[in-house]
Structure 1
Amino acid sequence: MAGVFASSLLRLEVSVDDDGELHMSLALRSGDEIVASDGIESCRLGVLSGDRGEFLVLDGALEGLMGAFVRDANGTVTELSLDTRLHQRAV
């Protein structure tokens, strides 16, 4: 699940800390250029039970938003859906 995901407006970076907790940081982008990331705090993600890869943003500016990790037929996470907007895994 950890990795970088991007859309035309956002770059999302999901990481796992030493305690196994998921975190997400975000930056606004324009094309391939990051235009704002200062002052945007990272947030914690709470994974919901079940096998659908759903999560809830637990704190920060996006607190309360729902999302999901989207997997391909092989089970590899290829996209992150945040509040119904898809972000492709960055290569």
Structure 2
Amino acid sequence: METVSHDWIIGIDVSRDWLDIYCLSDGQRLRLPNTAAGHARLVDLAKPVSALVCFEATGGQEWRLWSALDAAKIATRQLFPAAA
């Protein structure tokens, strides 16, 4: 099992229209649209704290988000439903 060394871990439930976000570090919850603007807002939140962003494989709905996070050099982990 891989050890996670990030102080900030953000978990996201990705759907076609929404990103339901939960921050393990401080318990904050947030809902953003699953759009380029929502992805940019998440990058703005995650990058300054060097967060690890985790999300479940959701039938392809996660690809645009993953691409935006990767372009911003934010650490990501895709979790498979059986492991989530």
- Give the alignment's TM-score, normalised by structure 1: 0.38
Which protein is richer in strand relative to its size? 1
Pair member with larger Rg: 1
Which protein is richer in helix relative to its size? 2
